[in-house]
Amino acid sequence: MSTVPIAPPSQSLAHRFSLPTFLLVTLLGGWVAVTPLWLFGGNAALGIAGMAMMSTPALGVLAARRRGVRFRDLAHATGLTLGPRRTRTIAVAIAVLLGLPALAGIAIAIAAGSGLATLNPGMSGALLAVVMTPLTTFLMVPTAFGEEWGWRGLLLPHLMERHSRRKAIVVTGLIWCVWHAPLGLFFGASAPLYFIPLSAMFMVFAGPVSWARLATGSVWPAVLAHAGLNASAATLFTSLSSGATPADIGIGAVVGMALWAAALLLTTAILFRTKHQHP
């Protein structure tokens, strides 16, 4: 896979950002953000906590910026621009948007076919949800940006300065999984039923999202991919029958999404085949 330069070699990200500060603010902020779950509980509190959590990686980027680093340099280093090849960036973004309905449809079929969940009566609702996935994706861009600016905007290229591309992607995925741990409070005793397959999904999805970032030098295709993941999740939960137990719906949906994400990972692995340890 060909990649584009992310930061000038004369000034590494380590000189401009403090990685320990980023991790501290992001991971600790995640636990602080779930405070409404402790105080109030319920779906409304989960929504508030979720949006607050998704902003913590972006806050981590701002907190990690070393003194004297201009915002212009920060924007370039963390992929806020469209990258050096704007046409390529736009093409990747379009591919992400066009692929989302198909992926959501496959996920719904797998979730229903697994026997762990069933579709709501009438396929028209499910088809409408799939068609609406791109629009839902755009609505979820702000919250997805809050995460991706931290994960793929800063953390991934920062790790790549010292480690191979593959190792950096895996470590980023692991930290992404750990960061979601506070949400387990909402599921109580059923937390392992949700968190284990969710973690598997995050790990396999880290590859395609990272490819979108590295192939373009821009964080925006990764933001769209992340927003699309969330939109697809919303599509799945809308399409699956409410008559099933919450655990059944969660496992069925997550299993379906993990499988199609794994298929994406296989494709990405082919693109990532290279003899070089660094881009």
pLDDT of 250 reads: 56
Residue with tokens 């191979």: 164
Mean pLDDT (whole number) for 80-99: 89
pTM: 0.81
CA atoms within 13 A on the CB side of 235: 34
Give the model's pLDDT for residue 182. 82
pLDDT mean over 138-143: 90
Question: Which residue would you say has higher pLDDT here, 10 or 162?
Answer: 162
pLDDT for res 275? 43
The DSSP result for the chain, as a single string, is ------S-TTS-HHHHB-HHHHHHHHHHHHHHHTHHHHHT-HHHHHHHHHHHHHHHHHHHHHHHBPTT--HHHHHHHTT-S--S-HHHHHHHHHHHHHHHHHHHHHHHHHHHHTTS--BPSSHHHHHHHHHTHHHHHHHTHHHHHHHHHHIIIIIHHHHHTTS-HHHHHHHHHHHHHHHTGGGHHHHGGGHHHHHHHHHHHHHHHHHHHHHHHHTTT-SHHHHHHHHHHHHHHHHHHHHB-TTS-HHHHHHHHHHHHHHHHHHHHHHHHHHT--S-S--
Q: Comparing 268 with 140, which gets the higher pLDDT? A: 140
Reported as a single tens digit per residue, the pLDDT across 20-62 is: 999 999 999 999 988 877 777 666 666 777 888 999 999 999 9
- pLDDT class of 277 with cuts at 50, 70, 90: very low
Q: Considering only 66-80, 103-117, 124-138, 227-241, which range has the smallest mean pLDDT?
A: 103-117
- Helical H segments across 65-85, by residue range: 71-77
pLDDT in tens, 178-231: 998 887 666 665 666 677 777 877 888 888 889 889 989 999 999 998 998 888
Q: Which tokens is 111 given?
A: 């979730």
On average, the pLDDT of the chain sits at 77
The larger pLDDT score, comparing residue 168 to residue 100, is at: 168
Backbone angles phi, psi at 240, to 5 degrees: -80, 150
Q: Which residue has the higher pLDDT, 9 or 178?
A: 178
Q: In Å, how far are 24, 100, 112 from 19, measured between CA atoms?
A: 9, 33, 42
pLDDT on residue 211 = 86
* Residue 262, pLDDT score: 64
Question: What is the per-residue pLDDT for 49?
Answer: 79
Task: DSSP letter for 81, please.
Answer: S
**What pLDDT was estimated at residue 243?**
52
pLDDT level of residue 276 (50, 70, 90 thresholds): very low
